[in-house]
Amino acid sequence: MKPWPYPRIIAHRGGGTLAPENTLAGLRKAKTLGFAGVEFDVMLAGDATPILMHDQTLDRTTSGSGPIAATAYRDMLTLDAGSWFSREHAGEPVPSFERAGRLCVELGLWADIEIKPVKGFEAETGKAAALAARELWRGAPVQPLLCSFQPAALAAAQQAAPELPRGALTRDIPPEWKQWLQKLGCVSLHCDYRMLLPQQARAVRDAGYWLLCYTVNDPEIVRVLFDWGVDAIITDRLDLIPPDFR
């Protein structure tokens, strides 16, 4: 098994708890703090534009409301995606995947890209995210990792851009995990650390796959997971778990 080639500490949704999630401000915050890797979510707006968004509605993280799938990106351009977090971030835009990807390349940030489809748009989102990532990171020294909870999204990404590495997201590790990863051509398995057992971690690594855990916010738990052989963790607590954490 090749050593994990990417950052071991990955900033969740950009800036973790220190910036509004899935924003350019979050990506910049991670870079400012010395992080080399970020995680964020990619979803399709109503006009099929890939954007950074976790929820299927605008309500929680923007000044707008309503379903993402029913809102064209042009109608999101006037929304505020930062005021919910702090006054300092008022006016932060909803970023397109294109803007976020270009910023990652510019800043030298490696990206763990979660394909987060609106229900019913799994294949369309997987294809769009993969094709966009291929273009955005063309010629970049390190390619991003595409991951998803949705097998249909990963299958579409595999067909659209087979050269980009993929990871399978799951809460707990199912008995058929190995067949699942083989079928989707994945290089990694990403799970909820609370559901992981040490023997499972060994099995994944022994089978030749990398293992990531989310969302780990306790430094002592990070140490335990690394002792188990986990390759990388995703964290909100950029203030407690620095990028060089060992």
Ordered per-residue pLDDT tens for the chain, 246 residues: 789 999 999 999 999 999 999 999 999 999 999 999 999 999 999 999 999 999 999 999 999 999 999 999 999 999 999 999 999 999 999 999 999 999 999 999 999 999 999 999 999 999 999 999 999 999 999 999 999 999 999 999 999 999 999 999 999 999 999 999 999 999 999 999 999 999 999 999 999 999 999 999 999 999 999 999 999 999 999 999 999 998
Among the options 54, 99, 178, 183, which is catalytic?
54
At residue 246, the pLDDT reads: 86
Contact yes or no for 92/15 (Cβ under 8 A): no
Taking the C-alpha atoms of residue 1 and residue 201, their distance in angstroms, rounded to an integer, is 14
* Residue 89 known to be catalytic: no
Tokens read off for 40: 């964020």
* Residue 54 known to be catalytic: yes
At residue 2, the pLDDT reads: 87
Taking the C-alpha atoms of residue 50 and residue 133, their distance in angstroms, rounded to an integer, is 10
Domains in the chain, ordered, with CATH? Answer: 9-56+95-235 (3.20.20.190)
Burial of 61-83, coded b for 16+ CB within 10 Å and e otherwise, reads bbbbeeebbebebebbeebbbbb
Among the options 8, 9, 11, 12, which is catalytic?
12
Question: What residue type is assigned to position 2 of the chain?
Answer: K
At residue 177, the pLDDT reads: 97
Q: Is the dihedral of CA 97, 102, 107, 108 positive or negative?
A: positive
At residue 1, the pLDDT reads: 72
